[in-house]
Amino acid sequence: MLSFLRHPSVVNRSATQGAMCTIWIDGVGCFWLSQRDRVTIGGPGAPTANLNDSRVTADLSILSDLKLRHATIVRNSEGYLLEAHGAVRISGRDVLERAALCDGAMVELGRSVRLKFRQPSALSLTARLDFVSDHRPTQSVDGVVLLADTCVLGSGDENHIVCHDWLGQVLLVRQGAELWCRSRQALTVNGHPLGNGRRMQSGDIVSGENSRFRIEIPH
């Protein structure tokens, strides 16, 4: 099992870039969950004491030579668009202003940063960004989930986060500003039965017979 101890138990807000939740999954990895409809991507910004200053860093700030604001991924009711503020290619084609993103699209930023866009379920607007090149944010993560409605964790490729050894699925559901956990499995949250569902709080540990994850929610 992946030990939670390899990650800090207290999440620094600058490390998770403000609005992103962090989920650590035993045997799978670490992922960020962003609930924003617009997510900017860029290079590292200048240090500042004001973590609320949106001019300083992008939402997803990658250790690279990208512009401070190199691209923006926009979600609307129909899907996703990528707005280019620097050199961008999608599946080998230059993007001058904006272009649609579809499942499996390869996004190339600048000279060497490569991300893969995944929207594995036709029933959900939620999508995922995978890191294809070696570039990562300051805190290394395995992917970024663009959470529209529901994030599904399970063993099949149709899930937003694939957990190969799991026997069932777990749903993380947006309800207004809250994040809820639901599952048909017999799960516990901090040792208490999940039941019909539970609102997630920072530091909650969800456990099942063959699954376990912890979630951190910025304040």
Element (H, E) at 177: none
Residue-wise pLDDT tens digits, 92-140: 999 999 999 999 999 999 999 999 999 998 889 999 999 999 999 978 8
Burial of 10 (0-12, 13-18, 19+ CB in 10 A): exposed
Return the domain boundaries, the chain: 4-216
> Cα separation of 144 and 35, whole Å?
11
Q: For residues 116 and 124, give the distance between their C-alpha atoms in angstroms, rounded to a whole number.
A: 18
Average pLDDT over residues 17-42: 90
Name the more confident of 176 and 83. 83
| pLDDT tens string 191-216 | 999 999 999 999 999 999 889 999 99
DSSP state of 49: S
Q: 170: closest CA among 148, 146, 189, 144? A: 189
* H-state helical runs in 14-171: none
Mean pLDDT of 35-61: 73
Mean pLDDT of all residues belonging to the chain: 87
4-216 architecture in CATH? Answer: Sandwich (2.60)
Quick one: pLDDT at residue 44? 86
Whether 144 has a pLDDT exceeding 70, the answer reads yes
The helix (run of H) or strand (run of E) holding residue 197 is none
Q: Are strands 98-101 and 106-109 parallel, antiparallel or unpaired?
A: unpaired
92: left (phi over 0), alpha (psi -120 to 50) or beta: left
10 Å CB burial of residue 88 (0-12, 13-18, 19+) is: buried
- Say which range, 9-23, 158-172, 176-190, has the weakest mean pLDDT: 9-23
Element (H, E) at 152: strand 150-154
Count of C-beta atoms within a 10 Å radius of residue 136 = 13
Total residue count of the chain as it appears in this document: 219
Residue 181 has pLDDT above 90, yes or no: yes
